[in-house]
Amino acid sequence: MASQFWTIYSTVRGLILLILLVTAAACGGGGDSGGVDSVGGGGDIGGEPTGQLSIAITDAPVDYATEVVVTIDAVELKPTDGTPVLIEFDARQIDLLFLQDGASTVILNRETVPAGEYNWIRLQLHGDPGTVNDSYVMFEDGSMHPLVIPSFDQNGLKLVSGFVVPVNGHGSYTLEVNLRAALHAPPGQNGDFFLRSALRIVDNTMVGEIAGTVSSDLIYGDAECTSGNAVYVYEGFDVIPDDVDLVDSDDAGPVTSSIVKLNETTGDYEYVAAFLHAGDYTVAFTCQAGDDDPDLDDTIIFTAMDNATVVVGETTVVHL
């Protein structure tokens, strides 16, 4: 039943993604580099050419929280040749844990900005020590902990990674917050959590996904299964899987991760790792994800792995 379900799922989801991509291309009548489609609606700002920019946000979730809520009211962009551009809007509270398994929410929708290459992007977030008014983490017992947004040049999460807005075109991107690396509860902070800038940006016209099931034998049949069933995804074939480790930059950490969940209708344990650029990947399962501390070089046991090739607009099915 699982194999039949995922065959149908893959076909339907692939068709949906393909329709979306074809629709975008049809609207534009052409394309350009940097994940863009030429759609008009540009112009100029102060005599400089412009384009349109859309930014969505998603997350790679954690196992130990039920809500991770952030408050955002602006996005700041830095053109390679120009001064930063600040785009402000009404404050929004977003539960990042709601944005998994391919879900996302748009924070900029076809915003007109200077065209060209950009060096970095910052999400302006708000969260202060000792208060849960703006941003917070909630646990299964109902307890809420303040989520503190450290001050860099401004409050927020900054990603130094280039992207392009084409002249009279449309650049569409998604930012993934890797909560497994971003959430941090340092000692001596009275239970406050901190949100670090653990982000990646993907070009929405160049992505596919990996999805499948995990055998219940892997979830229940190992005495080492102490916490957190998750699938980690690494760039390249036959990668030796490793933990999320911010201590050793030489470690080949995962590109993203996905929590394995029970589908109560089918009885299958399923996962979806979305927003992956086309290419080759290694997929690995662990039942110890809850013990993965990004500030330590943990020994996490992976009990199954396989290779996968992601194709634009398609779902690659991998069962473990």
Q: What is the pLDDT of residues 242-264, one digit of tens each?
A: 988 776 666 668 999 999 999 99
Given a cut of 50, whether residue 27 has pLDDT beyond it is no
61 and 83 fall within a common domain: yes
Residue 88 CA to residue 192 CA, distance in Å, equals 27
186 and 216 fall within a common domain: no
115 and 230 fall within a common domain: no
> Which residues have a Cβ under 8 Å from the Cβ of 10 and sit 6 or more positions away?
211, 314, 315, 316, 317
Q: Residue 3 domain-assigned?
A: no
Q: Residue 190 domain-assigned?
A: yes
28 and 89 fall within a common domain: yes
189 and 141 fall within a common domain: yes
Question: 230 has which bridge partners?
Answer: 259, 286
Given a cut of 90, whether residue 8 has pLDDT beyond it is no
Residue 295 CA to residue 274 CA, distance in Å, equals 25
| Structural domain boundaries, residue 313 | 208-317
pLDDT at 44: 59
Which CATH number do you get for residue 250? 2.60.40
The string of pLDDT tens digits covering residues 71-94 is: 999 999 999 988 999 999 999 999
Could you identify the residue written with the tokens 């997929």?
Answer: 283
pLDDT at 212: 98
| Banded model confidence at residue 196, pLDDT cuts 50, 70, 90 | confident
| Banded model confidence at residue 222, pLDDT cuts 50, 70, 90 | low
pLDDT at 204: 96
Which of 12-21, 53-62, 63-72, 105-114 is predicted with the least confidence, judged by mean pLDDT?
12-21
Which of 1-15, 85-99, 278-292 is predicted with the least confidence, judged by mean pLDDT?
1-15
pTM given for the model? 0.82
Given a cut of 70, whether residue 181 has pLDDT beyond it is yes
CA 83 vs. chain centroid, Å, equals 27
pLDDT at 250: 61
252 and 270 fall within a common domain: yes
pLDDT at 255: 94
pLDDT at 231: 97
DSSP 9-47: HHHHHHHHHHHHHHHHHHHHTSEETTTEE-----EEETT
What percent of the chain is modeled with pLDDT above 90?
57
Could you give the 3-state DSSP secondary structure of residue 218? helix
What percent of the chain is modeled with pLDDT above 70?
80
Residue 257 CA to residue 244 CA, distance in Å, equals 10
197 and 279 fall within a common domain: no
185 and 283 fall within a common domain: no
300 and 262 fall within a common domain: yes
Residue 82 CA to residue 123 CA, distance in Å, equals 19
The pairing of beta strand 207-214 with beta strand 199-203: unpaired
Q: Count of domains in the chain?
A: 2
pLDDT at 131: 84
Side-by-side strand order, sheet with 261-262: 261-262, 269-277, 207-214, 315-317
Q: Which of residues 206, 230, 262 is at a domain's end?
A: 206
The string of pLDDT tens digits covering residues 130-179 is: 888 899 999 989 899 999 987 644 567 888 888 999 999 999 999 999 99
> Which residues have a Cβ under 8 Å from the Cβ of 19 and sit 6 or more positions away?
none
Helix (H) or strand (E) holding 223, with range, is none
pLDDT at 72: 94
Residue 120 CA to residue 85 CA, distance in Å, equals 11
199 and 213 fall within a common domain: no
Asked if residues 286 and 244 have their Cβ atoms less than 8 Å apart, the reply is: no
Q: Between these two residues, 223 and 109, which has the higher pLDDT value?
A: 109
Given a cut of 70, whether residue 98 has pLDDT beyond it is yes
130 and 141 fall within a common domain: yes
Which of 14-23, 137-146, 208-217, 253-262 is predicted with the least confidence, judged by mean pLDDT?
14-23
Average model confidence (pLDDT) for the chain?
84
25 and 87 fall within a common domain: yes
> Contacts for 79-84 with beta carbons within 8 Å, 24 or more apart?
79/114, 79/116, 79/117, 79/118, 79/119, 80/116, 80/117, 80/118, 80/119, 80/162, 81/116, 81/117, 82/114, 82/116
pLDDT at 23: 40
Given a cut of 50, whether residue 32 has pLDDT beyond it is no
Q: Residue 160 domain-assigned?
A: yes
